Amino acid sequence: MQSLFIIHSFNGNTKNSFGPYLVKECTSLGLNVIFPDFPTGENANYHEWSKILDQYIFNGTLNSDSIIIAHSLGAHFIPKYIAEKNVKIKVYISCAGFINNTHKENAFDKIMDEFLPTELQIEKDILLMKYRYAVYSDNDPISSLKELEYYAEKFKAKKIFIPDIGHLGPKSGIKELPEVLEIIKKHVLK
């Protein structure tokens, strides 16, 4: 069975925005949907997030047919993790993925630095991720449009611009992402 991983944000807000919609819709497509619970906020750390995802490599669930959606901090974590573990995946979809951190909150900055992929890791990701997409908006309160587009360009990802959806968290009021569902449908194994 093909697996879909949904990797949540710094505060886990993905579970209160578009995450439940994708779980429901993708389960009905026959996907094995995995929505791991990672430590959030100031408790977020790369090592602990990695240990949680390692179990899916070990049991063969995370593999070359997998689809991964990563939101915000998750879009830092997955590229670093995939490159370090040398794991091939079929589809990578970043949601509000950014590389530069411009808002300078101390705890957040420290965590962001720990999760940030290197240039070499990003180059490796392009080879390990068969299809890459970047979903972003023009009114994201965390990152500028320029930073969001820069992220897409660094990963040579197909840009999916959706106006007025903010950072895709609960404050944005986003409960559904049909554009992401359509991407997934294109890559579901028959």
pLDDT of residue 105: 60
- State the pairing for strand pair 129-136/89-95: parallel
Phi, psi angles (nearest 5°) of residue 64: -70, -10
User: DSSP readout, 69-101?
Assistant: EEETTHHHHHHHHHHHHT--EEEEEEES--S--
What pTM, to 2 d.p., does this model score? 0.94
The CATH number of the domain holding residue 121 is 3.40.50.1820
Output the pLDDT for position 112. Answer: 79
Alpha carbons 91 and 33: distance in angstroms, whole number: 14
Burial of 182 (0-12, 13-18, 19+ CB in 10 A): exposed
pLDDT value, residue 12:
85
Distance separating alpha carbons of residues 100 and 151, to the nearest angstrom: 9
Which amino acid is present at 172?
A: S
Number of domains in the chain: 1
pLDDT of residue 183: 97
Q: How far apart are CA 17 and CA 99, in angstroms?
A: 22
Q: Which residues of the chain have pLDDT under 50?
A: none
How high is the pLDDT of residue 101?
54
* Residue 111, pLDDT score: 77
Quote the pLDDT of residue 13.
85
User: Token pair of 68, please?
Assistant: 């991964």
pLDDT for 114 equals: 85
Residue 169 pLDDT: 87
pLDDT of residue 104: 57
Domain that holds residue 177: 3-187
Q: What is the pLDDT of residue 171?
A: 87
